[in-house]
Amino acid sequence: MTYLLFLLGFGLLILGADWLVKGASSMARKLSISELVIGLTIVAFGTSTPELVVSVTASIRQAPELAIANVVGSNIFNIFIIIGIAAMIRPVPVLASTVWKEIPFSLLSAIILLVLSLDLVLDGQGPNTLGRTDGLVLLAFFLIFLVYSFDLARKGEIQPDHDVPAQVFPVWKSVLFFMGGLGLLVLGGRWVVNGASAIGLLLGMSQAMIGLTIVAAGTSLPELVTSAMAAYRNKPEIAIGNAIGSNIYNIFFILGTSATIHPLPYDTAQMSDTLVMMAAYILLFLLVILGRHFRTVTRWEGAAMVAAYIGFITVSAILR
């Protein structure tokens, strides 16, 4: 039964995120909120809602290792698997703003996360913890990134994702979609967290390992589907923008919110995973500027990224 609820939880998370975006977008259009605001907030954050719900639920239910591993694991998955698969479908051109601004900013977010968690090294006091003050710092950086994104979009340098049904529902239906989606997200998040903890105990795996692999991949399914479809529809630049933007959101907003709710311990394994995440950003940057085709991720490079992820998961499973 635990396994069934665990799998159903993922389904509820994805369906709930879809309903939440539909309802919120419809209400925003009824209130005459601009497409720009809708694209940069409701739609952009919609694909990361499963990670948010799982990490916040894990933090509330005293499973902090799962909260951090879910975010870091999702970010690694987004770089290696989502961008890799999108490039295998169709070579991915990368916008100049993504190369010189978003990718470095995502690397900065990982560096900030690592620095904030190094209490033992920087303060001489342990254990290493991502505390409430650290969470507020991450949320402050998220606000800076949000203002930066709005400024770029206003200038026309980036195009927010509007891949959401354009119809406007009646108010009652919009509210029903929104509240129903919220309810599915809460229930799905609870089932996923409870199932992950139970499976970890049953298989002798830590919550961190379960979060890094199964939960991270499951909560990243919306980004994977969005990016794969964007590449298939010959809009591959959306694929990398979706993955990078989601990663920045995951660290600054999701971990910031989770740590503000409850301090999150940060052990050596999680620091190692954070270093892998930083290496993934650096690798992507080097592939884009030094690869065979400038500012493009080719099919072969995409395949190499997928292979790198498989290698990372294999090594992590052996060592833990």
Per-residue model confidence as pLDDT tens digits over 151-199: 776 776 555 554 544 567 888 888 898 889 888 888 888 888 888 878 7
Sign of CA dihedral 10, 16, 19, 23: negative
For position 115, what pLDDT does the model report? 92
Among 174, 144, 173, which residue's Cα sits nearest to residue 42? 174
User: Does residue 303 register a pLDDT over 80?
Assistant: yes
CA atoms within 13 A on the CB side of 133: 4
For position 110, what pLDDT does the model report? 94
Chain position carrying tokens 């479908």? 89
Among 160, 186, 177, which residue's Cα sits nearest to residue 41? 160
For position 33, what pLDDT does the model report? 66
Chain position carrying tokens 């309802």? 23
Domain borders along the chain are 2-319
What's the pTM value of the predicted model, to 2 decimals?
A: 0.84
59-91 per-position pLDDT tens digit: 887 777 788 888 999 999 999 999 999 899 888
Q: How confident is the model at residue 270 (pLDDT cuts 50, 70, 90)?
A: confident
User: Does residue 236 register a pLDDT over 70?
Assistant: no
For the structural domain made of 2-319, what CATH number should be given? 1.20.1420.30
| Secondary structure E strands in the chain | 92-93, 129-130, 264-265, 296-297
Lowest-pLDDT range of 109-123, 164-178, 252-266:
164-178
For position 177, what pLDDT does the model report? 87
User: Does residue 43 register a pLDDT over 70?
Assistant: no
State how far the alpha carbon of 4 is from the alpha carbons of 9, 125, 180, 198, 199, in Å: 8, 43, 21, 12, 11
Assigned token pair, 320: 């833990």
Q: Whole-angstrom Cα distance, residue 56 to residue 61?
A: 9
For position 143, what pLDDT does the model report? 93
Q: How many residues does the chain have?
A: 320
